[in-house]
Amino acid sequence: MIYLDSGPIYTLCNRHPNQMINSDLLQLRGSPFEALRTLLDPLAPAPGMEPLILTVGEPQHRPPQLMIDALRASEHLYGKYPPVNGTDEMRNAIVAWLARRYGLPDGMVRADQNIAPVNGTKEALYMIAAVITARAGHNQPKPVILLPTPYYHVYHAAAVMAGAEAVFIPAGPATNFFPDLAAMDPDLLDQASAFYLCNPSNPQGTVASNDYLKKALMLARKHDFMLVVDECYSEIYDAQPPTGILEICKKEGGSLDHMLAFHSLSKRSSAAGLRSGFCVGETAVIKAFLNLRNFAGAASPLPVCAAATALWSDEAHVDENRDLYRKKFDIAEEILGYRFGFYRPQGGFFLWLDVGDGVEVAKTLWTRAAIRVLPGRYLSVTGPDGVNPGNAYIRVALVANQDDTKEALTRLANSL
């Protein structure tokens, strides 16, 4: 089953009739965090308890000192305009990291052709849709962009503002929380300009298999759409490093056609405020993307490029960061056991807990335990059958320190 966008849930209020506002903005869906504030702000948290916030996926681990040192050493460069494609040193460091991480042969990814540095992947995931989506002609149907549900809201905004029809595909437990590729209508795939995937999945924390990624890539090449893989959580994993789409490309001959992958330092290096990441993929698309960014994108300051170069060149801080999350997975497993559908996330740092009714449980946890969690309903779309695949779930972000994580999960277990 596929879910067409079920309509706007965001409105432009108090609009003067003569204001020139793009009507596509009316299709944007509301922020899940604004919906949560509407739900919980009228309610008082449990008295006598310090509120603990487990909603936003903002890493709270201390950023690595090597990042701070690189910023300070190059702070004199803040007075210069940075190039939109970053520095040679940063792009070379990214290519070297990709080769190490995914076992790529020399020359498969080229620093001057296949890498687009970005000022955080959020805006890049949004902007790329405008590059890869051709506008519909007069009286022609809109192109389609395929999205998983649950989903990251930026994907939907990207589709809407690129002039595409967002088509949501449920990603439930029966298919390891990824869209069911075998159930996709070939005619729908022929209409698609892009298919967004998040691997590891957000919010569910599962990892796509090699076979799944290969099938997704083959479908993209067969039906001529762009496979857009958000791999921002790829370096936060429990046991095995997740397969990247570049590994699949390597096994299929090394071509990057019909593929884009996005990586960020926000999670990998606990450097969300640095706003630094990159896109890697097909040469022609990267060239067009950089051209658009010359007009509409913010280039990373040169000190940020220096810091990113240092971070992509170092794995020690990533190992330490990953180990901190594993210890919190241990805490969660000890406290929750097999209750609430708990499983250790293969990747990322969220728990996706089956609590029956995520909205009601979110209210309960706030009023009884002073904990804020995010209802899965706010990350998902209700289908034409009236089913929302996130209804039963809550998302719990394990981003705080170990003591606060243990306290929060203890309160959660006791309250439910």
CATH number of 65-314: 3.40.640.10
Q: What is the pLDDT of residue 20?
A: 76
What is the residue-level pLDDT of the chain in tens, covering all 416 positions?
666 665 544 444 455 555 678 888 888 888 999 999 999 999 999 999 999 999 999 999 999 999 999 999 999 999 999 999 999 999 999 999 999 999 999 999 999 999 999 999 999 999 999 999 998 777 788 999 999 999 999 999 999 999 999 999 999 999 999 999 999 999 999 999 999 999 999 999 999 999 999 999 999 999 999 999 999 999 999 999 999 999 999 999 999 999 999 999 999 999 999 999 999 999 999 999 999 999 987 899 999 999 999 999 999 999 999 999 999 999 999 999 989 999 999 999 999 999 999 999 999 999 999 999 999 999 999 988 888 999 999 999 999 999 999 999 999 999 99
Which two structure tokens, joined as six digits, stand for 171? Answer: 């990603």
Q: What is the pLDDT of residue 139?
A: 79
Q: What is the pLDDT of residue 22?
A: 87
Which candidate, 53, 102, 165, places its Cα nearest to that of 396?
53
CA dihedral 256, 104, 96, 60 (to 10 degrees): 80
Q: Residues near 352 by Cβ (< 8 Å), separated by ≥ 6? A: 177, 203, 204, 205, 341, 345, 376, 393, 394, 395
Q: What is the pLDDT of residue 2?
A: 61
Element spanning 278, H or E: strand 277-281
**Is-cis flag, bond preceding 64, omega within 30?**
no
Provide the β-strand partners of residue 407: none
Q: Confirm if 321 and 268 have CB atoms less than 8 A apart.
A: yes
Amino acid at 273: G
Task: Report how far residue 366's alpha carbon sits from residue 196's, in angstroms, rounded to the nearest whole number.
Answer: 33
Q: What is the pLDDT of residue 298?
A: 83
At 323, is the secondary structure helix, strand, or coil?
Answer: helix
Q: How far is CA 134 from CA 20, 191, 226, in A?
A: 24, 11, 12
Q: What is the pLDDT of residue 12?
A: 47
Where exactly does CATH 3.40.640.10 map onto the chain? Answer: 65-314
Q: Confirm if 116 and 293 have CB atoms less than 8 A apart.
A: yes
Q: Which CATH class is domain 22-62+317-415?
A: alpha beta
DSSP state of 201: -
Q: What is the pLDDT of residue 8?
A: 46
**What angle separates helix 316-336 from helix 402-415, to the nearest 10 degrees?**
20
Q: What is the pLDDT of residue 130?
A: 96
Where exactly does CATH 3.90.1150.10 map onto the chain? Answer: 22-62+317-415
